[in-house]
Amino acid sequence: MKFFNVKFSNPFVALVGIAIATAISGCVAAAPSSQSFSPPAEPTATPAANTLYVDHAGTLFVYRLPLSSASKPVRTLTEWPGLGLPPVIAADQFGNVAVASTTAIRFFSAPIVSLAPARAKLTLKLTPAITEVGDSGADLVDMEYDPNENLWLLNNLGALITELRSPISKSSTAAVSIGFGAPGSKTAGFTTLVQARFDVNAALYVYASSSLRSRIFKISFPYARPPSDMGLDLAQADFIDSSQWPPTAPNAPTLLLGQYFGPLRSPTPGSPPSPPVDAAAQFAQPFNPSQGRFPSEHISTILGALIADPYRASFYALDASSGSLEVFGLPMQGGEKPKITLPCLGTAGICDEKGEHVFLAP
């Protein structure tokens, strides 16, 4: 994925943007800072990644790319030594890593050779100026770097999303705050945050759940409008822009991938709806209104994490039940089997049905 730098412009623009965001339910900006947004630059093709980070419930495995059937991790690292629960983890475009407990975030610079606390370039204490903090700290469920190197925190205390703007320092506070679950809003009832993702245009996508269902919501850059429901139950979402394919690619579609729960097609007139499936699925973008929001392809498997590598016409996925690392072709072909399958090498209990992530790095 291609990322962009943000430069800061007219302070008057910053104040107007914050005033607008504050007035809109579900998207409330923090106090004005000296920084304001500039639009993302036009995306360009992403260079090939050389490293794959694979996270299994608090253990980070580092692989070299391209993968083969004989690949083994070049490093196996404990993400937060001594912590009783797995930390939340994120990696940026440069291979830098952030890991968070309920009380602090540690930041590590690439190349990642250790995640011991002494190797952290910065340890940032979580405070109410950054995110909601209770008696036991914050309830972070995900972190994600956006295309401008800002770090976003998903906190299930108050169903709150906050942004730490780059460069992050010990004095950083939340620059943007987005609340979910407000009565009367499109996110009403969706108070369990699960994941955040970004596309090349810096749009934020949030997968959240209510007591009855799950949905993916979109908040477009610069996040001044409330979240909009995309009408899909799609976890582990990843977005492939046409600009991310290499110049030699035979075609360069814009795609949306993820773990989909829902029907595969619109019912024919007079017929009942088709039963929902739980499958890895691919959606052509943009959606065609006449065809509805149904997958163009799907694979009958349940994935715990995925990330696309358009440069190699592949995507990497972790099987939710076994934790095995699998390589599939991209674009997805319906019914295909993985080209490569590598077993999860974690200790007993961390590979099956546990929190997991995959990240590309230089």
pLDDT digits (tens, 9 = 90+) for 98-111: 999 999 999 999 99
| Average pLDDT of every residue of the chain | 88
Per-residue model confidence (pLDDT) at position 40: 57
Does position 15 have pLDDT exceeding 60, yes or no? no
pTM for the complete prediction? Answer: 0.87
pLDDT in tens, 258-305: 999 999 998 888 888 889 999 999 999 999 988 889 999 999 999 999
**What number is the average pLDDT over the span 316-345?**
95
**What number is the average pLDDT over the span 137-152?**
97
**What number is the average pLDDT over the span 186-206?**
97
Per-residue model confidence (pLDDT) at position 149: 97
**What number is the average pLDDT over the span 47-53?**
93
Q: How far apart are CA 254 and CA 330, in angstroms?
A: 11
Q: How far apart are CA 169 and CA 254, in angstroms?
A: 36
Superfamily the domain 79-231 falls into: TolB, C-terminal domain (2.120.10.30)
Query: What residue has token string 């934020």?
Result: 204
pLDDT in tens, 310-322: 999 999 999 999 9
pLDDT tier at 35, thresholds 50, 70, 90: very low
Dihedral class, residue 236 (left if φ above 0, else alpha if ψ from -120 to 50, else beta): left
Fill in the DSSP letter of residue 223.
-
Q: How far apart are CA 306 and CA 314, in angstroms?
A: 11
pLDDT in tens, 221-265: 999 999 999 999 999 999 999 999 999 999 999 999 999 999 999
Q: How far apart are CA 125 and CA 112, in angstroms?
A: 22
169's tokens: 């320092």
Task: Identify whether the C-beta of residue 11 lies closer than 8 Å to the C-beta of residue 36.
Answer: yes
Does position 347 have pLDDT exceeding 70, yes or no? yes
Per-residue model confidence (pLDDT) at position 39: 55
Does position 69 have pLDDT exceeding 70, yes or no? yes
Does position 87 have pLDDT exceeding 90, yes or no? yes
Q: How far apart are CA 32 and CA 344, in angstroms?
A: 46
pLDDT tier at 350, thresholds 50, 70, 90: confident
Task: Identify whether the C-beta of residue 215 lies closer than 8 Å to the C-beta of residue 208.
Answer: yes
Within the chain, all domains assigned CATH 2.120.10.30 are found at 79-231
Q: Kindly give, in sequence order, each residue whose CB lies less than 8 Å from that of residue 147, ignoring residues fewer than 6 positions away.
A: 1, 2, 3, 4, 40, 198, 200, 201, 202
Q: How far apart are CA 126 and CA 149, in angstroms?
A: 19
Between the ranges 86-90, 288-292, 350-354, where is the mean pLDDT highest? 86-90
Does position 191 have pLDDT exceeding 50, yes or no? yes
